[in-house]
Structure 1
Amino acid sequence: MGSINGMELGTFGVWTFDFEHQPAALMRESIQELEEQGWRAFWIPELLGREALTHAGYLLSCTERMHVINGIAQIWSREARWTYGAGLLLADAYPDRHVLGLGFGDARPGTKPLTAMIEYLDEMDAVQTPNPAPKAPMHRILAAYGPKMIALARDRAAGAHVYHVNVAHTAQTREILGPDSFLGVEHAVLFEPDPGKAREIARRHLHPYLNTTYNIAKFRRLGYSEEDITGGGSDRFVDDLVFWGDLDTIVEKLHAHVEAGADHVGVQVIGIEPGESAMPYWRMLGEALLR
């Protein structure tokens, strides 16, 4: 499980915003400890200031075996030729350890995500460069939610990366991707056994995603009603999107994505204050998930 073109990521990995708030020295110390614990995949976003490909390059330079996956590098952050060049260099410098996850990112008025992604991939694939070809190929996946983008990820990339979805979506995505394409699923978890406290924290985490057009469209496609996605989200919605409780409960729910067809699950621990580290929870999850 967890293979992209023969590159073994393991079934579970770490997905985190935490490094956006940490100095480079602490980032290095943290990812080296995760590598020692046995984690094989580390997912990073591009949203709060860290540039996706320099961020990935730094983390790769700090480790020997860890796979670093951009989840995602936004296509609006750089022209396609520069993304291609950066991905090529990382593939050459760190063979079979970097995955270039591409995504639409923030909505752009008047721009269709599918059209924009196709044009971006066309530009990448048309690049001619004097840069030497790496011995191991560049690996890319696409952020995908709707059927057409998932099909594009199947046809033009190694597979798909999905963020903030339920287990039913994982099963639907696997059906579209077929048996051979990679499916990486992010899921948020919260170590809080009290239902009231857990849902309060989860709603704060989900708030930005309930106020963006494309996320709302995604949730409606998943079958959530207007009542589910207004007022901070219904209990059903919150419980589907954030797995909360004790370690055993969280681990059992994460495995549901694997049973539904995910090759790999990137686990995002929430409830961590900016500047603090989720390392105590990553240690617990590592002991439970990496056996």
Structure 2
Amino acid sequence: MTIDLGLLGAHLREHEVNPAAAAQVERAGYGTLWLDASPPADLGLAEKLLDATTRLVLGTSIVNAWTADADTVAASYHRIEARHPGRFLLGVGIGHREVHAEYASPYDTLVSYLDRLAGAGVPSGRTVVAALGPRMLRLARDRVAGTIPGMTTTEHTRRARAILGPGRLLLPGHFALIEPDAGRARAIARSAPPGLALGVTNYANNLRRLGYTDDDLADAGSDRLIDDLVAHGEPATVADRLLAHRDAGADQIGVFPLGDDPIATLVGVAEAVHAATAR
């Protein structure tokens, strides 16, 4: 069961997106709009965004196993697929121990959640999981269509592709900001995710596996770490940084927009990437 996700994915939270914004993202050339930050199980906004567009795929990044009942999510999947066939991808994840008091046995919990989705008829080929570490990446390889990792670098993409092998979707998300002033760009990044997310255990552990130190993780991130997590600079530089994920094995590059106007950032990034691929 194939689905055309496109080269670029746009990551937006519920308060950042509405039907008009989704249509603008589609016009900018994005193949997928990822609805971030644990959307509710009824996925009502996802359906409204699909209603407002014609070809855009809608994905969740991610439905949270702790907060979204699997049976309700499965029913939502079937409802959306019936209304918009071939335009919805269910991204599932386990969240973070800093947020969920019940957080325990994350791997086993996610396996059980996937079992419930499969039992309710959600196809594995339309499901991806948020995976960072090797064990979760192997789960993505063995159980579903692939993975949608966030807070990652091109080195993580290379390592993830080696674990996934061919034939599995690798859809990393990368922060982006068109800002030629490096100092200003880093300040913006440190005042929002990624800087504010470096204390999250799952992200911090993954970055340590990639070779970053406690000094890199301190004080909202060293320059080296921020520069690796955020594509910033002139438009051509941003495009090249993002396209490095494709060269490392990604099927799609997800864009987490930074700055005061996330839609404007997404449009500018798309223009830069399309110009780079046309060179």
* TM-score (normalizing by structure 1): 0.86
Matched residue of 1:255: which SS? helix
Question: Where does residue 145 of structure 1 map in the other structure?
Answer: 132
Task: Say if 2:271 is the partner of 1:283.
Answer: no
Matched residue of 1:162: which SS? coil
Task: Say if 2:74 is the partner of 1:87.
Answer: no
Q: Which amino acid aligns with 1:124?
A: L
- Counterpart mapping for 1:216-231 below 5 A: 216-231=204-219
C-alpha spacing 1:289/1:32, structure 2 compared with 1 (3 Å): same
Q: How many residues align?
A: 270
Contact 2:132 2:206 in 1 (8 A): yes
Q: Which amino acid aligns with 2:40?
A: E
d(CA) in 1 for partners of 2:216, 2:30: 35
Unaligned stretches of 5+ in structure 1? none
Task: Say if 2:160 is the partner of 1:170.
Answer: no
Question: Where does residue 104 of structure 1 map in the other structure?
Answer: 94
C-alpha spacing 1:214/1:281, structure 2 compared with 1 (3 Å): closer
Question: Where does residue 35 of structure 2 map in the other structure?
Answer: 44
C-alpha spacing 1:194/1:37, structure 2 compared with 1 (3 Å): closer
State the 1:21 CA deviation.
Answer: 4.4
Match of 1:123 among 116, 128, 132: 116
d(CA) in 2 for partners of 1:283, 1:46: 21
Contact 1:31 1:62 in 2 (8 A): yes
Contact 1:183 1:262 in 2 (8 A): yes
Range that drifts further, 230-239 or 205-214: 205-214
C-alpha spacing 1:226/1:152, structure 2 compared with 1 (3 Å): same
Match of 2:202 among 189, 203, 214: 214
State the 1:138 CA deviation.
Answer: 6.8
Q: Which amino acid aligns with 2:93?
A: G
- What is the CA deviation profile of residues 132-182 of structure 1, one whole-angstrom value per residue up to 9, with x for unaligned ones? x9xx98711000001111111111111000101111000000011111000
Instruction: Spell out structure 1 runs of 4+ moving beyond 4 A.
Output: none
State the 1:183 CA deviation.
Answer: 0.5
C-alpha spacing 1:170/1:138, structure 2 compared with 1 (3 Å): closer
State the 1:208 CA deviation.
Answer: 2.9
- Counterpart mapping for 1:156-195 below 5 A: 156-195=143-182
C-alpha spacing 1:199/1:60, structure 2 compared with 1 (3 Å): same
Contact 2:46 2:58 in 1 (8 A): yes
Unaligned stretches of 5+ in structure 2? none
Indicate the percent of aligned positions where both proteins have the same amino acid: 32
d(CA) in 1 for partners of 2:119, 2:21: 38
State the 1:202 CA deviation.
Answer: 1.0
Contact 1:88 1:138 in 2 (8 A): no
d(CA) in 1 for partners of 2:198, 2:27: 37
d(CA) in 1 for partners of 2:152, 2:200: 15
Contact 1:91 1:137 in 2 (8 A): no
d(CA) in 2 for partners of 1:225, 1:138: 37
d(CA) in 2 for partners of 1:16, 1:80: 23
Question: Where does residue 9 of structure 1 map in the other structure?
Answer: 5
Give the RMSD, CA atoms, in angstroms: 2.0
